[in-house]
Amino acid sequence: MSTLNDKVIVVTGGSQGFGLAIARALIAQGAKVGLISRSQKTLDKAVQALGAGAAFAAAADVADPAAVKQAVDAIAAHFGRIDGLVNNAGIARPDPLAEVSAADFNLMWGVNVGGVLWASQAVLPWLRKSDNPRIVTITSASARHDDEMSHLGIYASTKAAVERLMIELRQELLVDGIGVTSVSPGFAATDFAAGWDFAKLQRAAADWRKRSPEFFDGMTVDDIGAAVAHCFAYPRGVAVDFMEVRPIRPQIKPEF
């Protein structure tokens, strides 16, 4: 396997949850990370936890192409290079499809799909200079499994769209030798539901329990961090196209 020593990898949504775990795993393999997130406060905490020598942060909304390009260029200026990107930033708002608002629809598509495209575009000039460049995008098991959380139809649709986007990008970037990977996580305990309307969360959870009383638990954010780091460790010319990581321990679904 290839070494990640001194490689520089940008992680969007990198200040908490899956993103922070991915950053930890990459640093443990010798990489340096550039974190992008909307909140400078949470970014500062993440850099402090990871170590300023290995991590640098630039605040940006990934749905804004100019802002994400500025953040990527700031990371490149700080470290002198960029070798990879992890598209991890994502957002969900629970609602039955009959009730989804235009604002929530646009928010999810703007961040989950637009953000992947804009960040990928922003890093490409730098990746073309790297000796082993890669883009890894975090999707979701909800894109293809009907036993995932209820009332996330729009979110799941954005993740299905992103997986197709990565298929197209993979083909376009073959000439550049840039590996393109989709990593699809199942359920893991994170702050994914932070900011959700609690009544909507309760209704989604109740509908989910009605479909079946059990779900699968036992996976942590660090399991996804390890999976992503593994994808970056292959030598140039070899890449994981798609990886799905799901828990296998049955549990009773929680009530809220």
Give the residue carrying structure tokens 């990746």: 127
Our CA angle for 87, 90, 94, nearest 5°, is 155
CA angle 170, 17, 240 (to 5 degrees): 25
CA distances from 86 to 15, 101, 110, 132, 239 (A): 13, 29, 17, 14, 14
Is 234 annotated as catalytic? no
Distant-in-sequence, close-in-space partners of 81: CB < 8 Å, separation ≥ 6 = 8, 126, 129, 130
Residue 140 structure tokens: 């979701």
Strand-pair category, 179-185 with 242-245: parallel
The active-site residue out of 155, 187, 208, 215 is 155
Residues that are catalytic? 155
